[in-house]
Structure 1
Amino acid sequence: MAQTESDLNEVVVSGTLKPVKRLESPVPVEVYTPAYFKKNPSPSIFDALQNVNGVRPQLNCNICNTGDIHINGLEGPYTMVLIDGMPIVSSLSTVYGLSGIPMSLIEQVEIVKGPASSIYGSEAVGGLINIITKKPASAPLVSADVMSTSYKELNADLSLKQRLGSKTTLLSGVNYFKFWNVVDHNHDNFTDVTLQDRISVFQKYAFQRKEGKAFSLAARYMYEDRWGGETNWNKSYRGGDQVYGESIYTRRWELLGNYQLPEWLTTKEKVMLSFSYTDHDQDSRYGTTSYIAQQRIGFVQLFWDKQLKNHDLLLGTAARYTYYDDNTPATALADKVFLPGIFVQDEIKLAPKHKLLAGFRYDYNSVHGNIVTPRFAYKWNLNDQNIIRLNAGTGFRVVNIFTEDHAALTGARDVVITDELKPEKTYNVNLNFLTKIYTPNHTFIGIEASAFYTHFNNRIIGDFDQDPNKIIYSNLDGYAVSKGLSANVDLTFASGLKLIGGFTYQDVATVEEGIKAQQILTEKISGTWAVSYKIKKAHLGIDYTGNIYGPMRLPLLGDKDPRQPYSSTWSIQNIQFTYDGFKNIEIYGGVKNLLNWTPNKGNPFIIARANDPFDKNVVYEPKAGRPAGSTEMQVAATEDNPYALTFDPNYVYGPNQNIRGFFGIRFTIK
């Protein structure tokens, strides 16, 4: 939600693919600026989203700390992540590449919760996150931000604006993050936090054209070396069975651009051409398991924006080509998918206070055939202070397990796919209410509440419970539902005190043969807050931020597993002090994780069989209850292994970093 009343008039593009004031959009769009994320500074957008209500960065492995972004309880693959409107962060790069987006180049982050399929394609079934980079013309001349923590993390951002001739402006940025300090506070001989060495280089060109028509071109390169594992691991052990380690090398580059066609080629209406290309290479070792993958995604989109009397038309076509190959048995041949499509959207002004948006998209998937995703939105301005929005739509998603689910890669469990997986289909509806309240004492109150519902057919589920040594993937013989309520409240007082709070209740479950089961690793309740106060005379700002999550079901390895089947309620809280009394300089510092919470609180251990990561001392016996002659085996309980466990690092639901201090300096010349 926006941080102040003035932010309600921010221009957004994610809801309808065209610039519009947030209050005027028939689709509810949440806007977050860098000022909001600076309340709890983080080295990447992945970490920064922890203080957004209804959005949760989910860690998927205790060892390599890869993760994805959940919106309203739906797992990362249901969220489309865009950069400048281009779908260049997906599948493999969602799992590994999201942390490489530098914060210094972000203008704002727009979040749409719920259906967006008719505009952005069939993958946007749970919502989308659009990371909008700064325009070179309005960016600072020089900007630098350097931060370090008592964990010995170092993050450095640098951006520079240059004029190249009279009609070209270049914005260059570099982000460097390094954490190479082995920490093992829970004494299991495994790293508590993954070690990382990452660099990201970004350049964006803006070209001045006649009549102010848009033309921009941007490119980014990112390289990351990360590893986690036994504390005495080094690269000489990579891929071997002497010392366990998970080592991941990532190389990716991206190209994206926007070009508004000249009038001599088109009518006087706005016709935009957008394009992007990404190249992602992954070289990973999970113990002795090798995972080497390449992903190439090309995307092009052309749309025509036509204004009529009471209609705002958008007509477009798009095409995406995806190439994916890896060295797993599941990918015998490279996966090549061509996805052309057309879409139309009409925003109709029914009356001064009523708007109707109707959208329709048709795609042809070269593997699965025709895909139709309609969309509907209705906006009713009760008055200048109260708005109701209703959105509904459908979605379609094709799953690639090895690019989306880290648990399938660890090598700790065998992956079993029972039969040919069918694409998932969804039906979504979202009801949103926004109100603004102005009190006589100059206090502003903004309240936004939503009710959401998503129904899944053919939901693809990874079963961790049936066999502790396997993950069994199949289409659900039934249906799945994600439903809930969400609310955000902004308070701005005349004294300068600002409070932002959010709360979400969600019920994400599967229903099979009449039996309802809560989705694994999904909380029912969550909340976020940010309290800020500025002591102007002292040039001192104070920010207290945090989040809280209710219990979630966790993946156990059997009936004898002594770890908690549900997490306890947990919270990460932070405080920051910022001094801006110097010209062009800000100094900030504080404490993260004030409560010193970690996932091992109340658990005998987090990583199962950390003392035997290659299962060399695990004993197997015939599985109980099987007919005579069956060769199916199960882990036997022994004196060395009383709980009948195998090595497994997938019992993870929150960050494993203790309380730590941080300090940083920002330098800006506008």
Structure 2
Amino acid sequence: MLLNKICIAGIFLYGCNAVAQQHTVQDSVKNTQLNEVMITATRNTRQLANLPLPGAVVDSATIARAGIARLNEILSEQTGLITVADFGGGEGLQMQGLDAAYTMIMIDGVPLAGRTAGTLDLSRITVGNIERIEIVKGASSALYGSEALAGVINIITKKPKPNTLKGVAAYRYASFKTHDANVTLNGGYKKLVASLFANHYINGGYDLNTSTPNKTVEPYVNTTIQPKLGYTINDKLNINGSFRYYNQLQDYKLYSSETNYSGKTEINEWNAQLKADHKWTDKSRAEYEIYTTNYRNGQYLNSPEGTPYENSFYNQWLIRPEIRTMYNLKKGIFTTGIGFNHESLNRTYFQSEAVFNSGYAYAQYDYNPGGRLNLLTGLRYDAHSKYRSQLSPKIAANYKVSEALSVKTSVGYGYKAPDFRQLYFNFTNSSQGYSVLGYNVVQEQLAALEAAGQITRLYDVNLGSPLKPESSINFNLGAYYKKKALKADINFFYNSINNLIDSRAVALTTTSQTIFSYINVNRVFTYGTELNAQYNITDNLRLQGGYQYLVAKDPDVINKIKHGEVFARDRNTLESFQLKRSDYFGLFNRSRHMANLKLYYTVPVWKTDLSLRAVYRSKYGLTDSNDSQGVLDKYDTFVKGYVLLHASVTQPLGKHFLLQGGANNLLNYTDPVNISNLPGRIAYLKLQYNF
């Protein structure tokens, strides 16, 4: 198509800066990341450079310059973050080598729901109204509880501003018949502020394998609406409320037994947040918050004659009130919090609605004795209705060696509770010959099948004790350096996960159908190094890069190899041979090396922003291809390493208009067999009007 030809020739159309609610264009190269602050890591505003925890901030100017539309796209360009595709083409996030299920995803400090298969799809979140993205790496359960075992991603959306009346309208057209339209309205009068953001997104889908009748990702359309309202009662009390609604409708098709089935998949999600900020004294304040979210997903398939073939649903609720207090002491800030979670899920393949209730309390002291040392300590207690209570501590320190150099270290505990699926799932696929039963229902179902004489074998699996939460110990050691035009940081990390929950065969039926359930099986560990650097070559030219080295392995596999218990099959001779420890590559879907390199340039005369960004991922394995008992070794077939190249040009047109053009995956890299979330080159053109 025409846009692709333009990108191949390297001629990019001018483009818009997507910084909403601004009438003029900032010189992004000079002004970006000068005074980065973060709230998520400590729940208090802290300078990122002095924070004793590993983290990063992606601001709105960086997002705008990248010319992307969805959250997964901008996160995939950050050091140490890998977006991994799920079965529906959506994408979750892998951090420090830990699965997507172990990272908490929040919007404005509150968690999102809808992990239908353990992964929360990041592609459903638009970037049009994001102020910044805060990334905290490492176990964060001391503040955020379950799911924060690997870290936290907090998407902070733009706040309404007082005494203004402004708006932004933007439209973006991209490859694969993609339309993306945003409208932002902002107004304030005296003590009242309000804003409204709306996004409408249409994607025509794409097909990486034309030999099959169905597309890799079917066409879909979604809409996001987010109003916000704030009122200042007096100089000590503010009330803020926000509501977010999301709807997506997608074609759902299946080709089976020479029959084409068709239907629809629909997602409806909303979340509402009401918060009061109360300043008690000059040195103490409190936040009172109540948050509710509902995520619903339904899909159906019909035969060509209209006969129902499949119908499923998913309905999850979360209600969470919380009170936080902050005390400014002589040498630090003392933060406390207490809250309650009520969570329920009713879905296909559950015998009945499942309900979790949990109360929690946490405390944190951000200690600054003066001089060069900052010490951060925290502790959280979670009491859950379905599993044993959890105590999550952490301690971190930052020491300023000089004005330019500081060192930081942290040790934290993380945990992830068994989810609804792992406890209550009751699914049977007769055509494929297997069943999956949640831990809390498997014993009852097995007993019933045994009584009916339908079990031929029970495997040696312990189902007697309650399923335990997964837990981890996370350690980080790093340094931060900033002097004149150079800024750099390095971090060494180590994660050890215990009580890993995995699926295992527990029984075999008389019809040769295998029954699986979830149990605590083993441990995994990950360790590695992250390096980020930024150098301002001139006021208008900046070079930025990042690199991660990662090792992720299972110590039980290492032990079995050590004792000569693991064998692989030579694919040429079909003979078995014993694996050595050096043959073991590690966990599936982990790359040993990741890197990114970004070049930003502003043409002063025309105020034109140019960006060129490259992202590299080294080889990784997805399956055991040589019958080595589920072990990924160096003789397996690997997905080859690849580079993605992105480019954009941004140009203001007068006082109110901005125009942007460019392409993501400029080299048109695809791997239809192994990578379903890379559709190929995406060329785009965007126009924005500020009023």
TM, length-normalised to structure 1: 0.82
Q: What residue number does 1:589 align with? A: 661
- How many pairs does the alignment contain? 596
CA distance in 1, matches of 2:91, 2:515: 18
CA deviations on 1:297-344 (whole Å, 9 max, x unpaired) are 01121111112222321122121111112111xx32322111111111
Question: What's the secondary structure of 2:296's corresponding residue?
Answer: strand
Shift of 1:431: 1.3
Q: What is the 5 A alignment of 1:400-479? A: 400=419, 402=421, 414=434, 416=436, 419=463, 421-438=467-484, 444-462=485-503, 474-475=518-519, 477-479=521-523
CA distance in 2, matches of 1:68, 1:590: 25
CA distance in 1, matches of 2:319, 2:491: 35
CA deviations on 1:427-460 (whole Å, 9 max, x unpaired) are 111112110122xxxxx11111111111111112
Shift of 1:245: 5.7
Q: What residue number does 2:596 align with? A: 528
Shift of 1:400: 2.5
CA distance in 2, matches of 1:476, 1:4: 51
CA distance in 1, matches of 2:226, 2:433: 38
Shift of 1:559: 5.7
Q: What residue number does 1:84 align with? A: 108
Structure 1 residues 107 and 282: alpha-carbon distance in aligned structure 2, compared to 1, 3 A threshold:
same
Identity %: 19
Shift of 1:14: 0.7
Structure 1 residues 140 and 157: alpha-carbon distance in aligned structure 2, compared to 1, 3 A threshold:
farther
Contact 1:248 1:282 in 2 (8 A): yes
Q: What residue number does 1:156 align with? A: 181
Structure 1 residues 246 and 657: alpha-carbon distance in aligned structure 2, compared to 1, 3 A threshold:
farther
Contact 2:283 2:327 in 1 (8 A): no
Q: What residue number does 1:642 align with? A: none
Shift of 1:44: 1.4
Q: What residue number does 1:28 align with? A: 54
Question: What's the secondary structure of 1:449's corresponding residue?
Answer: strand
Shift of 1:162: 2.6
Q: What is the 5 A alignment of 1:163-202? A: 163=188, 166-180=190-204, 183=207, 186-202=210-226
Contact 2:205 2:220 in 1 (8 A): no
Question: What's the secondary structure of 2:619's corresponding residue?
Answer: coil
CA deviations on 1:200-223 (whole Å, 9 max, x unpaired) are 111011212311643210001111
CA distance in 2, matches of 1:209, 1:94: 42
Q: What is the 5 A alignment of 1:642-657? A: 652-653=674-675, 655-657=677-679
| 2:230 pairs with 1:206 | yes
Question: What's the secondary structure of 2:523's corresponding residue?
Answer: strand
Q: What is the 5 A alignment of 1:340-355? A: 340-355=359-374
Which of 189-198 and 177-186 deviates more?
A: 177-186
Question: What's the secondary structure of 2:76's corresponding residue?
Answer: helix
Structure 1 residues 521 and 21: alpha-carbon distance in aligned structure 2, compared to 1, 3 A threshold:
same
Q: What is the 5 A alignment of 1:387-402? A: 387-400=406-419, 402=421
Higher RCO, Cα 8 Å, sep 6+: 2
CA deviations on 1:226-263 (whole Å, 9 max, x unpaired) are 23546xx8xxx9xx982156842100110013212364
| 2:375 pairs with 1:356 | yes
Contact 2:356 2:386 in 1 (8 A): yes
Which of 331-340 and 292-301 deviates more?
A: 331-340
CA distance in 1, matches of 2:122, 2:194: 24
Structure 1 residues 430 and 96: alpha-carbon distance in aligned structure 2, compared to 1, 3 A threshold:
closer
Question: What's the secondary structure of 1:104's corresponding residue?
Answer: coil
Q: Provide structure 2 residue ranges, at least 5 long, that are not aligned to the other structure.
A: 1-27, 303-308, 438-460, 561-583, 629-634
Q: What is the 5 A alignment of 1:540-619? A: 540-555=608-623, 565-600=637-672, 606=673
Q: What is the 5 A alignment of 1:37-56? A: 37-56=63-82
Question: What's the secondary structure of 1:46's corresponding residue?
Answer: helix
Shift of 1:224: 0.4
Question: What's the secondary structure of 1:512's corresponding residue?
Answer: helix
CA distance in 2, matches of 1:572, 1:484: 23
CA distance in 1, matches of 2:473, 2:404: 30
The one-letter code of the counterpart of 2:680 is N
Q: What residue number does 2:6 align with? A: none
Contact 2:69 2:180 in 1 (8 A): yes
Shift of 1:584: 1.8
Shift of 1:88: 2.8
Which of 96-105 and 273-282 deviates more?
A: 96-105
Q: What residue number does 1:509 align with? A: 553
Q: What residue number does 2:683 align with? A: 661
Contact 2:205 2:216 in 1 (8 A): no
Shift of 1:487: 0.8
The one-letter code of the counterpart of 1:161 is N
CA distance in 2, matches of 1:366, 1:267: 39
The one-letter code of the counterpart of 1:36 is T
| 2:340 pairs with 1:319 | yes
CA distance in 2, matches of 1:261, 1:367: 35
For residue 313 of structure 2, the aligned residue among 292, 296, 300 is 292
Q: Provide structure 1 residue ranges, at least 5 long, that are not aligned to the other structure.
A: 439-443, 601-605, 607-651
Structure 1 residues 42 and 5: alpha-carbon distance in aligned structure 2, compared to 1, 3 A threshold:
closer
The one-letter code of the counterpart of 1:278 is T
Contact 1:86 1:275 in 2 (8 A): no
CA deviations on 1:561-607 (whole Å, 9 max, x unpaired) are xx98310001221111221142221111112212211113xxxxx3x
TM, length-normalised to structure 2: 0.79
Question: What's the secondary structure of 1:102's corresponding residue?
Answer: coil
Which of 423-432 and 207-216 deviates more?
A: 207-216
The one-letter code of the counterpart of 1:171 is S
CA distance in 1, matches of 2:556, 2:64: 44
Question: What's the secondary structure of 2:538's corresponding residue?
Answer: coil
CA distance in 2, matches of 1:306, 1:530: 41
CA distance in 2, matches of 1:478, 1:30: 31
Structure 1 residues 335 and 491: alpha-carbon distance in aligned structure 2, compared to 1, 3 A threshold:
same
Shift of 1:666: 1.8
The one-letter code of the counterpart of 1:659 is R
Shift of 1:285: 4.6
Shift of 1:402: 4.0
CA distance in 2, matches of 1:472, 1:556: 20
Contact 2:194 2:229 in 1 (8 A): yes
Structure 1 residues 3 and 32: alpha-carbon distance in aligned structure 2, compared to 1, 3 A threshold:
farther
CA distance in 1, matches of 2:428, 2:271: 25
